[in-house]
Amino acid sequence: MPGRHVGSDGEHELQETLGTEERAERFYDDQVIDYLNPSMIEFVARMDMAFISTADAHGECDASFRAGTPGFLHVIDERTIAYPEYRGNGVMASLGNILENPHVGILMIDFVRDLIGLHVNGKARMVADSELRETVDDLPAAERGRSSQVWVVVEVEEAYIHCRKHIPQLVPVARDRREWGTDNVRAKGGDYFGVKAGKQPAPAAAKAS
For residues 79 and 153, state if they share a domain.
Answer: yes
Per-residue pLDDT tens digits of the chain, which is 209 residues long: 444 578 899 999 999 999 999 999 999 999 999 999 999 999 999 999 999 999 999 999 999 999 989 999 999 999 999 999 987 778 899 999 999 999 999 999 999 999 999 999 999 999 999 999 999 999 988 766 567 879 999 999 999 999 999 999 999 888 776 666 666 777 667 778 888 888 767 666 655 54
Burial of 18 (0-12, 13-18, 19+ CB in 10 A): exposed
For residues 59 and 108, state if they share a domain.
Answer: yes
The partner residues of 55 in beta bridges, in order of sequence, read 61
For residues 64 and 17, state if they share a domain.
Answer: no
- Domain that residue 11 falls in: 1-32
Q: Which amino acid is residue 20, in one-letter code?
A: T
For residues 11 and 74, state if they share a domain.
Answer: no
Burial of 183 (0-12, 13-18, 19+ CB in 10 A): exposed
Within-domain flag for 57: yes
CB 160 within 8 A of CB 33: yes
CB 65 within 8 A of CB 51: yes
- Strands lying side by side in the sheet with 74-77: 61-67, 49-55, 103-110, 116-127, 150-162, 80-85, 74-77
For residues 61 and 15, state if they share a domain.
Answer: no
For residues 51 and 147, state if they share a domain.
Answer: yes
Residue 169 CA to residue 30 CA, distance in Å, equals 26
For residues 62 and 114, state if they share a domain.
Answer: yes
| Whole-prediction pTM | 0.85
Instruction: Encode pLDDT of 88-139 as tens digits.
Output: 778 899 999 999 999 999 999 999 999 999 999 999 999 999 999 999 999 9
For residues 47 and 98, state if they share a domain.
Answer: yes
For residues 121 and 20, state if they share a domain.
Answer: no
Within-domain flag for 197: no
Within-domain flag for 185: no
CATH, residue 128: 2.30.110.10
Within-domain flag for 186: no
* DSSP designation for 173: P
